[in-house]
Copies of this chain bind each other. A is one copy, B any other.
Amino acid sequence: MQVAYTPEEIAAIVSPQRTSGRTTEKIRDIASLKSAQPGDLSFLGTPKYRAEVAATRASLVLVPLDHVGEPQANQLFFFVEKPSVALARLCARIEQSLWPHPPAGVHPSAVIAPGARVSPQATVGPLCIVEDGAAIGAGTVLQANVFVGANASVGEQCWIQAGCIVASGCELRNRVRLQPGVVIGSDGFGYEFVNGRHEKIPQIGIVIVEDDVEIGANSTVDRARFSRTVVGEGTKIDNLVQVGHNVLIGKHCILCAQVGIAGSTTLEDYVVLGGQAGVGGHITLGKGTKGGGQAGIASDTAPGSYLNGTPAIPYMTERRLAILHQKLPELFKRVEFLESRLK
């Protein structure tokens, strides 16, 4: 952050219902109650940390309306309904000032094929490549070093960061955000074993990334063998995630970092997968299924399932079995004792 806000400017953004105390500091950063220094804004996001308010060195603290306690010297409290919402509003404002939407236009170093259609309201940054037949929509920004292959399309208001690759024929709809290094449309992993060699099965389908999807850095989404791989509307994918060919991800799913989904699997809406979870191929995870971190899910799940472990089983069962597993030394001793009694 390279910002400085007066308390008055922040009040204008978060609209406190009342205030207490005063500070001469300008606010230059945001920090947790514990780590804050003078010049920082902090906030009481959950009652759990209430005791930390009295000790924080933050110059400005967002506290809930019912908070009891007085600011220290050169410290200001803003009483707001929900400090976390007020903070989000402030952060959104800071985000805009840190990274204003760049002006439309194509950087002279970008390589745009004659048959590409780039909206005059789009921004194409340095060293981007847009191939023949590709389309870039209004309000979309290709940051830098982005490759959009032949006949691919990127919709409106998308934010495609440095080093992303959208391979031939793939389609990003609107307001899609790709973090740096994302690959959309790599070939699916399909071979036929013939005479001791793996013969490639052509992968001629595409990837469709629907509206309001965000995909994390260096994640990869394979194109379909034929037809399409789909990432559904509003789904959020973290870094280094692998999505196999012909996978159909529903709407509003959450895939944490390093998750892997094997080919032809369907995730219905609102599925949530913890970090490093793996999902086998050709199965369906029912609506709202949750998988724990590192879980290995190998078969269909009912809607609302919550699974853990490898192979994944219902979460509570897995937890109970894990506790019994830890009692194995005791169990072996008990059996030994029984045996000694029956000799």
**Chain A residues within CB distance 8 Å of chain B:** 1-2, 29-32, 35, 84, 88, 91-92, 94-95, 98-99, 107, 109, 111, 126-127, 129, 131, 144-145, 147, 149-151, 161-163, 165, 167-169, 177, 179-181, 183, 186-187, 189, 191-192, 196-198, 200-206, 212, 214, 216-218, 220, 222, 225-227, 234, 236, 238-240, 242, 244, 252, 254, 256-258, 260, 262, 275-276, 278, 280, 293-294, 296, 298, 309-311, 313, 317, 320-322, 324-329, 331-332, 334-335, 338-339, 341-342
* Pairs across A and B, CB under 8 Å, 18 listed: A29-B226, A88-B192, A126-B129, A149-B162, A180-B186, A183-B239, A186-B217, A187-B216, A196-B252, A198-B234, A198-B236, A218-B220, A240-B260, A294-B294, A313-B326, A327-B332, A334-B339, A338-B339
Kindly name the residue among A144, A298, A341 whose own CB sees the greatest number of chain B CB atoms within 10 A.
A144
With a cutoff of 8 Å between Cβ atoms, the chain B residues found around residue A341 in the complex are: 342
Given A2-B169, A186-B180: A257 touches B275 (CB 8 Å cut-off): no
Rank and list the top 5 A-B pairs by shortest CB-CB distance, nearest first: A186-B217, A30-B226, A91-B202, A95-B202, A179-B186
- Known pairs A99-B168, A180-B165; A214 contacts B186 (CB<8 A): no
Known contacts A183-B217, A331-B332; A165 and B168 CB within 8 A of each other: no
Q: A181-B218, A220-B239 are in contact. List 15 more A-B contacts (CB 8 A).
A: A94-B202, A109-B111, A161-B167, A165-B181, A167-B180, A186-B217, A196-B252, A242-B257, A244-B257, A293-B296, A321-B325, A324-B332, A331-B331, A335-B338, A341-B342
- Which single residue of chain B is at the shortest CB-CB distance from A269? B196
Docked-complex contact A145 and B144, CB < 8 angstroms:
no
Q: Which residue of B lies closest to A107 (CB)?
A: B111
Contact of A91 among B201, B239, B257 (CB under 8 A): B201
- Give this chain's copy count: 3
List the B side residues contacting A198 at CB < 8 Å: 234, 236, 252, 254
CB-based contact A240/B242 at 8 Å = yes
Query: In the complex, what's the smallest C-beta–C-beta distance from A328 to chain B, in angstroms?
Result: 4
Nearest CB of B to A127, in Å: 6
Min CB gap A237→B, angstroms? 9
Chain B hits for A244, CB < 8 A: 257
Contact residue among B161, B167, B191 (Cβ-Cβ distance under 8 Å from A162):
B167
Q: Within the assembled complex, what's the spacing in Å between the Cα atoms of A167 and B181?
A: 12
A325 to B313, CA, bound (A): 12
Give Cα distance in the complex from A35 to B260, angstroms. 24
**Bound-state Cα–Cα, A278 to B292, Å:** 12
Bound Cα distance A280, B276 (Å): 11
CB distance from A184 to the nearest CB of B (A): 9
